[in-house]
Chains A and B, each alone.
Chain A
Amino acid sequence: DTAVSQTPKYLVTQMGNDKSIKCEQNLGHDTMYWYKQDSKKFLKIMFSYNNKELIINETVPNRFSPKSPDKAHLNLHINSLELGDSAVYFCASSQDSSAGETQYFGPGTRLLVL
């Protein structure tokens, strides 16, 4: 049983395209996150949803739009892809958004924009 799953694992696409990454968690958690890992391995928070409500929206281009159809899913849609969007995107979930809650990460989606 995969706790936090992401699809696809790899995504290679051309500049200007629109793509989506899906995330699902079967842990019954209330809070889900999207992180971006750059080439130097830094992870930065992009978005967080708690019970389908957006609670964190970091400074990311508005080409990135998260959507949470239900508590178990948080998808990331990216419009007009740019070269700089190439990175690994990680989804995570936690029981809730309280301090000290453990976040459980998905396997990542490696996005390459050509």
Chain B
Amino acid sequence: AQSVAQPEDQVNVAEGNPLTVKCTYSVSGNPYLFWYVQYPNRGLQFLLKYITGDNLVKGSYGFEAEFNKSQTSFHLKKPSALVSDSALYFCVPDTGRRALTFGSGTRLQVQP
């Protein structure tokens, strides 16, 4: 079975500082992992995914995530946060059920 944990309900960061939204996974076999973002009152947008290959995955809006097998982590990072990055972020495993399983996410608040 595949599952993820986002240990922080909320992350606060000042604009211009680097940001990290944490995700750890528990999987059997090779995991497929996604990051999605939900801006206030808007739909979910795909940011990036890890399937196989390079451990560093680059995605939309300057975000990247590193797949770390030894630490079973897939943290989302951005070198310099923008106020407009404030949103709800979901780390999502593909459990092979042909549907994605979402948790409650991590709320990122970027302060000006």
- State the A residues within 8 Å of B (CB): 4, 31, 33, 35, 40-45, 48, 55-56, 90, 92, 97, 99-100, 102-108
Contact = CB atoms under 8 A, between A and B. Distances in A.
Contacts of B51: 100
A43 B43 contact: no
Contacts of A99: 32, 94, 96, 98
7 contacts: A35-B102, A45-B99, A48-B98, A56-B97, A100-B32, A107-B42, A107-B43
A55 B45 CA distance: 24
A100 B104 CA distance: 21
DSSP class of B's interface residues: helix, strand, loop or mixed? loop
B94 A100 contact: yes
Contacts, number: 55
Contacts of A48: 98-99
Contacts of B36: 105
A103 B97 contact: no
Contacts of A44: 102
Interface string B14-55: 000000000000000000101010100011111001010000
Contact of A102 (B38, B49, B96, B99): B49
Contacts of B32: 99-100
A90 B97 CA distance: 18
B100 interface: yes
